[in-house]
Amino acid sequence: MLDPVARVRRFNRAVTSAVGALDGSFLGRGRPLGAARVLNAIGHGRSDVAEIRDYLGLDSGLMSRLLRSLEDEGLIETAAREDDARRRMAKLTRAGRREFAAYEALSNAQAEGLLAQPSQREALLAAMDLIASALTRERISLDEMDPRGEEARYCLGEYYAELGRRFSQGFDVSLSRDPDAKDMRRPRGAFLVAMSDTLPIGCVGLKGTDHGYAEIKRLWVAPAARGLRLGRRLMDAAESAARELGITLLRLDTNSALPEAGQLYRSTGWREIPRFNDDPYPDLFFEKRL
Amino acid sequence: MLDPVARVRRFNRAVTSAVGALDGSFLGRGRPLGAARVLNAIGHGRSDVAEIRDYLGLDSGLMSRLLRSLEDEGLIETAAREDDARRRMAKLTRAGRREFAAYEALSNAQAEGLLAQPSQREALLAAMDLIASALTRERISLDEMDPRGEEARYCLGEYYAELGRRFSQGFDVSLSRDPDAKDMRRPRGAFLVAMSDTLPIGCVGLKGTDHGYAEIKRLWVAPAARGLRLGRRLMDAAESAARELGITLLRLDTNSALPEAGQLYRSTGWREIPRFNDDPYPDLFFEKRL
DNA sequence: CATGATGTCTGACTTTAGTCAGGTATCGCG
DNA sequence: CGCGATACCTGACTAAAGTCAGACATCATG
């Protein structure tokens, strides 16, 4: 009972019964689960029929029948795709949106229910993030995004908060050289966010300058995602983006209070150089030629 | 995406697909899931047919048919119970044990798979324990057990390890008055273990003495189970056991390095008294009249 | 524009899960 | 012993999920 496998199996049992309850509540809306799942996939923005079929693992005949039944209920409309009339697109009607909202409410209620214990709320959420990140590690995608977008701002907020915790003197963004957003957008630079499902769990910025090099800024990995080698993946992607933009020299600054970062840079071809700016926080400076 | 409900739902999605894979692998053994579930319930020691039916939530007719199909396969044998011939017991045949072992191997492999990332192993297990304890909090049972049994020894080991971390001078069991096991067994005392599914997550000992009182010893709650008011439940159960044994006065010692324990005692009718033993570790002493 | 590949749909089918109404043997109790 | 309650079983049924072969329209390609 005390070995790791037994602990995982206990976890499995606990979550299957908790998560299984959702299926039960879905059935309460008087529609078979298969149809409910298709409706929800469409509601979540999947419109391509083949993609939904693939996502839900359905046979094409079965899928077709489920679409028909949802159409008969007046919840969806389908139409051939303009660029390829063999493929079909599905979208919700007004009634379908209402019905989808009802399913969403059930899902949200179930999620709230899992969090019901207020004393444990934060610990529970952190544990869920950790597990979800670990289980979906193969499906973490690195997406180029606007540094002003919601996901990017979330990452930066978490990054600053962490620096505040780890620097003995704290961290005040306004004292640091906050990079201009347009320096981290094409064609001058780029901003990458690591997404696990819908949650941003890491980021890195590539900031263009007018001094013959570009800088790597704001490398951050969520605590729940550490140990998945995500930092390395983000750095690799940032370097690729730099190459695409014709950048041949990269620099970055960091702080010795972040030893894991320094270690990553040293092990991936960066070499230490003298201070090249007057930002008050960094005390370590690196350079890499591409 | 950043609100708690979205994080829980992301966790749900990640876990359902990971755990759902187990059902798929079970189907690989050429038997419907219903039959596989019954076989596994029997393999895990459930033999009473009504109990299995209740556990799996099956209709009595369906259950009967599933038992018949497992019998036809030669995997189980059923017999009327000796004390009540209406009830039936099921047990595995030799072939059934082999088949059960194959399912166990699949379950174990899936559990191992979830842990595959060695760098995160401990963090992942701790997160799983936390979640499993929180989700099954309504089903935590307090069982009276032998203080020398496997579950009790596990709890005591964790308890000692935690004292070692929290006392500035460390903790050495041999210096403390290690209670005699028979003092924590009926009729002199009792030892209670809180079980969540198959994992021990807390304990408390009631130790009989020859001095007109009994002592509460070894109150421990696993980190993953804190915030569930388990300490209070354990203390209530220990007091009930004491009343059953005709004990009217309880004492306990504790240490001010464990503030949450002191707070629990003060809020549940214990009053502080002068030192009543010469154990080197405690510096706080309490008494409660039942 | 003929041809093979692709995506969807339909009809016919099977398996699994689950429900319900009796039926039979056994038990506890007056 | 008789009687109602209990535990299990059987037969008849339904709903849901899934499989498979073939039909049809459309697409990309030579």
pLDDT in tens, B142-152: 999 999 998 99
Please report, for the domain that includes residue B262, its CATH number.
3.40.630.30
* Adjacent-strand bridge partners of B286: B252, B272
pLDDT band at A178 (very low <50, low <70, confident <90, very high): low
Of A115, A128, A145, A228, which to mutate for an interface test with B (greatest number of B Cβ within 10 Å)? A128
Contact A120 B154 (CB under 8 A): no
Looking at the structure, tell me whether residues B59 and B94 fall in a common domain: yes
Q: Is residue A121 part of a domain?
A: no
Q: Nearest-CA residue of chain B relative to A2?
A: B199
Task: Quote the CA–CA distance of B43 and B96 in Å, as a whole number.
Answer: 8
pLDDT for residue A3: 83
Which of the pair, B103 or A225, is modelled with greater confidence?
B103
Looking at the structure, tell me whether residues B142 and B109 fall in a common domain: no
A35-64 pLDDT per residue, tens: 999 999 999 999 999 999 999 999 999 999
**Strand C-proximal protein residues, Cβ less than 7 Å:** A 48-50, 53, 60-61, 63-65, 67-68, 78, 84, 86-88; B 32-35, 58-59, 61-62, 80, 84-86
Give the residue-averaged pLDDT of B47-55: 94
Q: Could you tell me if B105 lies within 8 Å of chain A, comparing CB atoms?
A: no
Task: Quote the CA–CA distance of B248 and A262 in Å, as a whole number.
Answer: 63
Looking at the structure, tell me whether residues B197 and B259 fall in a common domain: yes
DSSP B178: P
pLDDT for residue A102: 96
Q: Could you tell me if A9 lies within 8 Å of chain B, comparing CB atoms?
A: yes
pLDDT band at A2 (very low <50, low <70, confident <90, very high): low
Nearest beta carbon to residue B12 from set A7, A111, A150: A111
pLDDT for residue B17: 85
Distance C1 C1' – A87 CA (angstroms): 23
Looking at the structure, tell me whether residues B51 and B107 fall in a common domain: yes
Give Cα separations from A63 to A35, A46, A51 (angstroms).
Answer: 9, 14, 11
Range with the poorest average pLDDT among A119-128, A150-159, A229-238, A243-252: A119-128
B120 pLDDT above the threshold of 80: no
Range of the domain at A158: 139-289
Give Cα separations from B165 to B133, B151, B200 (angstroms).
Answer: 23, 22, 20
Q: Is residue B184 part of a domain?
A: yes
B177 pLDDT above the threshold of 70: no
Please report, for the domain that includes residue B70, its CATH number.
1.10.10.10
Looking at the structure, tell me whether residues A258 and A176 fall in a common domain: yes
Angle at B66 between CA A10 and CA B60, to 5 degrees: 90
Q: Is residue A125 part of a domain?
A: no
Percent of chain B with pLDDT over 70: 98
Here the tokens at position A65 are 């029948």
Contact B124 A134 (CB under 8 A): yes
CA–C1' nearest nucleotide, residue B62: C18
Looking at the structure, tell me whether residues B110 and B144 fall in a common domain: no
Q: Is residue A49 part of a domain?
A: yes
> Where a domain ends, among A48, A80, A114?
A114
Residues 6+ apart with CB under 8 A from B174: none
Residues 6+ apart with CB under 8 A from B276: B251, B253, B285
pLDDT for residue A253: 95
Q: Is residue B120 part of a domain?
A: no
Strands A199-208 and A190-196: antiparallel
> Where a domain ends, among B114, B129, B152?
B114
pLDDT for residue A177: 66
Looking at the structure, tell me whether residues A165 and A108 fall in a common domain: no
Q: Is residue B83 part of a domain?
A: yes
Give the residue-averaged pLDDT of A133-151: 89
Task: Quote the CA–CA distance of A274 and A153 in Å, as a whole number.
Answer: 31
Looking at the structure, tell me whether residues A151 and A48 fall in a common domain: no
Q: Could you tell me if B232 lies within 8 Å of chain A, comparing CB atoms?
A: no
Give the residue-averaged pLDDT of B73-97: 94
Q: Is residue A128 part of a domain?
A: no
B179 pLDDT above the threshold of 90: no
Looking at the structure, tell me whether residues A177 and A267 fall in a common domain: yes
B117 pLDDT above the threshold of 80: no
Q: Is residue A122 part of a domain?
A: no
Task: Quote the CA–CA distance of B59 and A23 in Å, as a whole number.
Answer: 19
B254 pLDDT above the threshold of 90: yes
Number of domains in chain A: 2
Do the Cβ atoms of A44 and B164 come closer than 8 Å?
Answer: no
Looking at the structure, tell me whether residues B56 and B166 fall in a common domain: no
> Where a domain ends, among B57, B79, B114?
B114
Looking at the structure, tell me whether residues A155 and A267 fall in a common domain: yes
Mean pLDDT over each residue of chain A, to the nearest integer: 91
Which of the pair, A25 or B179, is modelled with greater confidence?
A25
Q: Could you tell me if A153 lies within 8 Å of chain B, comparing CB atoms?
A: no
Looking at the structure, tell me whether residues A228 and A106 fall in a common domain: no
